Structure 1
Amino acid sequence: MTKFARLYNNFQPEHYNIYLDINREKKYFSGQTTVRGYAAVKNIALHQKNLNIEFVAIDEKKIPFEIDDELNLVKFSVEHSGQIAVTVRYSAVLTDTMMGIYPSYYELDGQKKQIIGTQFETNFARQAFPCVDEPEAKAIFDLSIKFDEHPHETILANMPELRVEEGVHYFDTTVRMSTYLVAFAFGDLQSKQTVTHSGVKIGIFATKAHAQNELDFALDIAKRAIEFFEEFYQTPYPLPHSWQLALPDFSAGAMENWGLVTYREAYVLLDPENSALETKQVVATVIAHELAHQWFGDLVTMKWWDDLWLNESFANMMEYVAVDALEPDWHIWESFQSNDIVSALKRDSTDGVQSVHVQVEHPAEVDALFDPAIVYAKGARLLVMVRALIGDDALRRGLKNYFAQHRYGNATGADLWHALGEASGQDVIEIMDSWLEQPGYPVVKASVEDGQLVLSQSQFFIGEHQKNKRQWQIPLHTNYDEVPKLLADEKLVLENYAQLRENAGEPFQLNVGNNSHFIVQYDKQLLADILSQVEALDFISQRQILQDLHLLAEANKVSYADIVPLLGKFMDSPSILVNTVLYDILQDLKKFVQPNSNEESALKSFYDLISQKQVQSLGWYGQSNESNDDQLIRPYVLSAALYAQNSQVVASAHRIFEENILNLQGITADIRQFVLSNEVEYFGNSVIFERLLKNYRESSDASYKTDLRNALANVKDSTLITKLVAKLKDADTIKPQDLRGWVHSLLKNNDAQQLVWDWFRKEWTWLDKTIGGDMEFTMYITVIALVFHTPERLAEFKAFFEPKLNTPGLTREIEMDIKVIASRVNLIETEQNQLNQAVLKLVKNNKK
Structure 2
Amino acid sequence: MGGGFYISKFVGVVGIVFGAGAVATVIALAVVYSQEVAKNEALSPTNGGSTIKPPVTTPGGSTVKPQITTPVIPTTAPSNEPWDKYRLPDTLKPDHYNLTLWPRLTVNAQDLYIFTGNSYVVFQCVKETDLILIHSNKLNYTKWGDDHLAKLSALGSTPAPTIKKSWIQPTTQFLVLELNGKLAVGESYQLDTVFVGELADDLGGFYRSVYTEEGEEKVVATTQMQPTDARKAFPCFDEPAMKAIFHITLLHPPMTVALSNGMEHGQTSFDKTKKMSTYLLAFIVSDYDYINSTNDNVLIRIYARKKAIADGQGEYALNKTGPILKFFEKYYNATYPLPKSDQIALPDFNAGAMENWGLITYRETALLYDPKMSSNSNKERIATIIAHELAHMWFGNLVTLRWWNDLWLNEGFASYVEYLGANEAEPDWNIKDLIVLGDVHRVFAVDALASSHPLSSREEDIQKPEQISELFDAISYSKVPIMYTYLNTFAYDNTVYTDLWDHLQMAVNSTGTSLPTGQTVHSIMNRWVLQMGFPVVTINTTTGLINQQHFLLDPSTAGSWIVPIRWMNTGLVQQQIWLEDKTAIKPEMTVTGNNWILANLNVSGYYRVNYDNTNWERLLVVLSSHHESIPVINRAQLVDDAFNLARAKYINTTLALRTTKYLRSEREYMPWESALDNLDFFYLMFDRSEIYGIMQTYLKYQIEPLFKHFGNITGNWTNVPTGHMDQYNQVNAIRVACSTGIEECQTLTKGWYSQWMKDPANNPIHPNLRTTVYCSAIAAGGAAEWEFGWDQFQAATIAIEADKLRSALACTKQPWLLNKYLEYTLDANKIRKQDATSTIVYIASNVVGQSLAWDFMRDRWNYIFTQYGGGSFSFSNLINGVTKRFSTEFELKQLKQFQADNSEVGFGSGTLAVSQSIERTTANIKWVAENKDSVQTWFTTEVPKE
Q: Please say if residues 141 and 195 of structure 2, whose CA atoms lie closer than 8 Å, have aligned partners that are also in contact.
A: yes
CA contact under 8 A between 1:4 and 1:363: conserved in structure 2?
Answer: no
Kindly indicate whether the alpha-carbon contact (under 8 Å) linking 1:556 and 1:827 is maintained by their aligned counterparts in 2. no
Render the CA deviation track for 1:475-498: whole Å, top value 9, x for unaligned: 112346998722121111235865
The residue matched to 1:159 in structure 2 has which SS? coil
Report the counterpart of residue 50 of structure 2 in structure 1: none
Contact kept? 1:254, 1:264, Cα under 8 Å: yes
Q: Could you tell me which of 598, 621, 627 is aligned with 2:723?
A: 627
Code of the residue aligned with 1:401 in structure 2: it is T
Matches within 5 A, 1:286-305: 286-305=385-404
Per the alignment, residue 93 of structure 1 pairs with 198
Preserved contact between residue 207 and residue 221 of structure 2 (Cα < 8 Å): yes
**Whole-Å separation in 2 of the counterparts to 1:401 and 1:589:** 48
Taking the TM superposition and a 5 Å limit, the aligned residue runs for 1:464-613 are 467-479=556-568, 485-495=577-587, 506-534=595-623, 535=627, 536-595=629-688, 599-613=691-705
Would the aligned equivalents of 2:137 and 2:174 in 1 still touch at CA under 8 Å?
yes
User: Which amino acid counterpart does residue 601 of structure 1 have in structure 2?
Assistant: G
How far the C-alpha of 1:199 sits from its partner, in A, is: 0.7
Alignment match, 1:73:
174
Q: Is the 8 A contact 1:676 1:708 kept in 2?
A: yes
Higher helix proportion, which one? 1
Distance across 2 between alignment mates of 1:729 and 1:809: 19
Partner of 1:696: 793
Matched, 1:14 2:95: yes
Q: Give secondary structure in 1 for the equivalent of 2:609.
A: strand
Distance (whole Å) between structure 2 residues aligned to residue 519 and residue 224 of structure 1? 36
Q: Could you tell me which amino acid in structure 2 is paired with residue 612 of structure 1?
A: E
- CA displacement, residues 768-800 of structure 1 (integer Å, 9 cap, x when unaligned): 111222233322212123233333222211210
Distance, in Å, in 2 between the alignment partners of 1:484 and 1:170 is: 57
CA drift at 1:594: 4.3
AA matched with 2:371: P
Counterpart of 2:913 in structure 1 is: 813
Contact 1:13 1:132 in 2 (8 A): yes
Give the equivalent residue in structure 2 for 1:282: 381
Q: Distance in 1 between matches of 2:386 and 2:218?
A: 26
Q: Distance in 2 between the 1:812 and 1:770 partners?
A: 20
Gaps of 5+ in 2: 1-78, 108-112, 143-148, 155-159, 514-519
Q: Which residue of 1 aligns with 2:219?
A: 114
In the alignment, does 2:329 pair up with 1:237? no
Q: Which moved more, 1:764-773 or 1:176-185?
A: 764-773
CA distance in 1 between counterparts of 2:595 and 2:425 reads 36
Residue 863 of structure 2 is matched in structure 1 by 766
Number of the residue aligned with 2:235: 130
CA distance in 2, matches of 1:683, 1:244: 41
**Structure 1 position 28 matched with structure 2 position 114:** yes
1:323 paired to 2:422: yes
Task: Give 2:53's aligned residue.
Answer: none
Q: Deviations over 1:5-44 (max 9, x none)?
A: 4326111000100011221223111211111110232312
Which residue of structure 2 lines up, in the alignment, with residue 391 of structure 1? none
Is the 2:837–2:874 contact (alpha carbons within 8 Å) kept by the matching residues of 1? no
Report the residue type matching 2:602 in the other structure. Answer: G
* Structure-1 separation of matches of 2:250 and 2:575: 64
Q: Secondary structure, in 3 states, of the residue corresponding to 1:374?
A: coil
1:840 aligns with 2:943: no
Find the residue that maps to 2:659 and give its secondary structure.
helix
- Contact 1:370–1:775 (CA<8 Å) still a contact in 2? no
Alignment partner, residue 390 of structure 1: none
Distance 1:19 1:493, change over 3 A: same
1:461 aligns with 2:461: no
Listed one character per residue, the Cα deviations across residues 338-381 of structure 1 (whole Å, up to 9, x for unaligned) are 110111111100002111111243213443343431112xx1xx
Q: How big is each residue's C-alpha offset from its partner over 1:119-140, in whole Å with a ceiling of 9 and x where there is no partner?
A: 0100100111111101111110
Structure 1 residue runs of 5 or longer lacking an equivalent are 387-394
Distance 1:651 1:324 in 2: 37
Query: Structure 1 residues 601 and 5, CA, compared in 2 at 3 Å: closer, same or farther?
Result: closer
| Contact 1:193 1:204 survives alignment (8 Å) | yes
- Are the counterparts in 1 of residues 806 and 839 from structure 2 also a CA contact under 8 Å? yes
Match of 1:452 among 543, 546, 562: 543
Equivalent residue runs for 1:300-315 within 5 Å = 300-315=399-414
Normalising by the residue count of structure 2, what TM-score does the alignment of the two structures yield? 0.83
Rounded Cα–Cα distance in structure 1 between residues aligned with 2:685 and 2:492: 54
Deviation by residue 1:420-450 (Cα, 9 ceiling, x = unmatched): 22123253222111001100111111125xx
Q: Which amino acid in structure 1 is aligned with residue 221 of structure 2?
A: I
CA-to-aligned-CA distance 1:669-698 (integer Å, 9 cap, x gap):
12112222222122222x332221122123
Q: Is the 8 A contact 2:871 2:909 kept in 1?
A: no
Please give the per-residue CA displacement for 1:132-156, whole angstroms capped at 9, x wherever unaligned: 1011111101011113x152x2111
In structure 2, how many angstroms separate the alpha carbons of the residues matched to 1:5 and 1:370?
Answer: 17
Secondary structure of 1:213 counterpart: coil
Q: 1:666 to 1:189 in 2, by over 3 A?
A: farther
Alpha carbons of structure 1 residues 73 and 336: separation in structure 2 relative to 1, 3 Å: same
CA–CA separation in structure 1 for the residues paired with 2:558 and 2:751:
59
Q: How do 1:659-674 and structure 2 match up within 5 A?
A: 659-661=755-757, 662-663=759-760, 667-674=765-772
Q: 1:195 to 1:366 in 2, by over 3 A?
A: farther
The residue aligned with 2:275 is 176
Percent identity of paired positions between Structure 1 and Structure 2 = 26
Cα displacement (A) at 1:602: 1.7
Q: Which residue of 1 aligns with 2:833?
A: 736
Cα RMSD, aligned residues only: 2.3
Cα distance change on mapping 1:824 and 1:719 into 2, 3 Å: same
Alpha-carbon distance in structure 2 between the residues aligned to 1:483 and 1:115 = 57
Is the CA contact 1:209–1:700 (under 8 Å) kept in the aligned structure 2? no
Letter in 1 for 2:523: E
Distance 1:720 1:496, change over 3 A: closer
Number of the residue aligned with 2:462: 361
Shift of 1:272: 2.3
Deviations 1:646-668 (A, max 9, x none): 11110111111123332465521
Give CA deviations for 1:65-85 in whole Å, capped at 9, x if unaligned: 222112111122264322111
Corresponding residue of 2:503: 419
Partner of 2:849: 752
Alignment equivalent of 2:124, drawn from 38, 48, 57: 38
> Structure 1's 612 and 244: CA in aligned 2 closer, same or farther, altered over 3 A?
same
1:674–1:483 CA distance, 2 compared to 1 (3 A): closer
The alpha-carbon deviation at position 506 of structure 1 amounts to 4.6
Point out which structure has higher relative CO (alpha carbons under 8 A, 6+ apart): 2
Q: Are 1:185 and 2:257 matched, yes or no?
A: no
What is the CA-CA distance between 1:309 and the residue it aligns to? 0.5
**Aligned counterpart, 2:358:** 259
Kindly state the Cα deviation for residue 592 of structure 1 after the two structures are TM-superposed: 4.2
From 125, 131, 141, the counterpart of 1:53:
141
Please say if residues 37 and 85 of structure 1, whose CA atoms lie closer than 8 Å, have aligned partners that are also in contact. yes
Q: What whole-Å deviation, never above 9, does each CA across 1:152-203 have from its counterpart, x for those lacking one?
A: x211110111123xxxx1111111100111101111112111111x210111
Task: Select between 615-624 and 341-350 the one with higher mean Cα deviation.
Answer: 615-624
